[in-house]
Amino acid sequence: MQTASVEFFSEGERIAALWRTPDVVSGRLRAIVQGPGWLGLKDAKLYVRYHEALVEAGFGVLVIDYRGFGDSGGPKELSPSVQLEDLINAVTYLTTRDDVDADAIGVFGTGGTGGGNAVLLAATDARVRAAVSQVPVADGQDWLHRMRSESDWLEFQASLELDRKERVITGKGRRVHPREEIMVPAAERRTTTVKSDVDDRIPLDVSLAAADEILAYKPIEAARSLTKPLLVIGVEGDAVTPTDHAVALYEAAAGPKKLVMQRHTTHYAAYDKYWEHVTPLIVDWLDRYVRPAGVVVTSNDGAGNVTELIEEA
């Protein structure tokens, strides 16, 4: 696998990315775009084995640092709406490359908002042919609520309202640690080393206003209109991204879909325990649906079952 550092611009800010390709490239590549998961960075070791498998199957993989994260430019803030813009612009960047087939682009997202962003991108961008969403967040408000006891949730809501008033009066709000004061880490998050290679490079000081964006974050609503192929991967009894979020996205999607549920494990342990089982499913899904197409035939059997057949160009 070859890895090259590339860059493009998203709404005027420089986006740093890695472009991963086979050692030998013959013709234009089908491409997969990935935005990192919650507070993730493009060069996380966690992603490499997925990319290796996709590259071996003949894909190019573009993984980015969102604005304000890692090596990308822009204010160090946390904004799902900005992240979606960056992903849309990443797709546009892929269409400018001579080594990419612009008619064969898919999205892979893993880890909380990474999984949710994959659904949002597929629902928003007509150029994206299929999506894989691994351990996703489907509803940001529910996600933040369920991290907290009811008393802590009420206190959190009160702090957000106070901060909104402060921003209106003074133009400035509180700065907080996103992992400690917006997300509340599960016990496993405090001990896992799965993201230790990037943990010391994430923004540690963001506007509390970011929480308002997370509250409004609703991939589940996008899924209800999604007719593109969607593979959802969840963890049974997940204490970090609730299992029913993965199930809800799967059930809501209107197009071809598949749900993979990993059992007898935990959110972070699943990456290691089941990667050999899950990775081929990811590759097979994207290989089946991310193909150049001259003709796309979509059928509905009248009972709500949608089948999409792709005839290659």
Q: Is the pLDDT of residue 299 over 90?
A: no
In the predicted model, what is the mean pLDDT of residues 9-28?
Answer: 95
In the predicted model, what is the mean pLDDT of residues 61-90?
Answer: 96
Interval 164-180: pLDDT, tens: 999 999 999 999 998 88
Q: Locate the domains of the chain by residue range.
A: 2-138+217-312
Query: What integer pLDDT is reported at residue 184 of this predicted model?
Result: 84
Fold of 2-138+217-312: Rossmann fold (3.40.50)
Query: What integer pLDDT is reported at residue 125 of this predicted model?
Result: 98
Interval 185-199: pLDDT, tens: 777 666 665 656 676
pLDDT above 70 as % of the chain: 93
Query: What integer pLDDT is reported at residue 297 of this predicted model?
Result: 74
Please choose, from the candidates 75, 67, 70, the residue with its C-alpha nearest in 3D space to the C-alpha of residue 197: 70
210 Cβ contact partners less than 8 Å away, ≥ 6 residues apart = 77, 78, 79, 178, 182
Inter-CA distances, 216 with 98, 119, 138, 294, Å? 37, 15, 11, 37
Interval 285-296: pLDDT, tens: 999 999 987 777
Q: Is the pLDDT of residue 313 over 60?
A: no
In the predicted model, what is the mean pLDDT of residues 63-86?
Answer: 96
Positive or negative torsion for Cα 303, 109, 183, 271? positive
Query: What integer pLDDT is reported at residue 275 of this predicted model?
Result: 86
In the predicted model, what is the mean pLDDT of residues 300-307?
Answer: 68
